[in-house]
Amino acid sequence: MNPILLDFPDEITTKRLIIRCPRSGDGLAMHEAKTESIQQLRQFPASLPWAMHEPTADDAEIFCRQSHADFMSRSNLNMLVFLKETGQFVGASGLHRIDWEIPKFEIGYWCRTSLHGHGLITEAVSALSQFAFEHLKAKRLEIIADDLNTASWRVAEKAGFELEGILKNERSDPDGTLRNTRIYARTA
């Protein structure tokens, strides 16, 4: 079956979060969070190459609109994360590198710097995992994290993902520094 015909929710709610498909007009909130967090995100250029470019409000709005179109075509399922109580933008996550034949997905994520350490991204990843297994009939979910990005791979572990391996010298920074990559997975 063509995945564009699949019907599933475009919003997930948890105890503290609303996780939803990007919409037109979300770019400003995303831009503010990226600007706040850009220096931290730039610590991992091999896994976050988009963070190496200076963020602009227009680029964030383009991302949100393109992500909405990708969500509708089922080619990439970017999601934005907001605090349920206040509506504050927390960060982004989603289901990427989709293989509908299996089906399998990669979960990516980033969190605005001022909200680190509250378990919000772990909560979002757990909810997205449940969503993928229940609504998308996922057989495999992956999280790929830079070996030096301890916060990222700890999210994977707290969300129930198991380390399958560390790929040595798998990526390189723009300056040529080689980086190791951790592969985490959960299976149905």
Tens of pLDDT along 10-41?
Answer: 999 999 999 999 999 999 999 999 999 999 99
Side-chain half-sphere CA neighbours of 60 within 13 A: 20
Instruction: Report the alpha-carbon distance of residue 39 to residue 181 in Å, rounded.
Output: 21
- pTM here is 0.94
Tens of pLDDT along 162-185?
Answer: 999 999 999 998 888 899 999 999
Which CATH code of 3.50.50.60, 3.40.630.30, 3.40.50.2300, 3.30.300.30 fits the domain covering 9-187? 3.40.630.30
Q: Is the pLDDT of residue 50 over 80?
A: yes
Q: What is the pLDDT of residue 29?
A: 98
Q: Mind giving me the DSSP string for 71-123?
A: HHHTS-EEEEEEETTT--EEEEEEEEEEETTTTEEEEEEEE-GGGTTSSHHHH
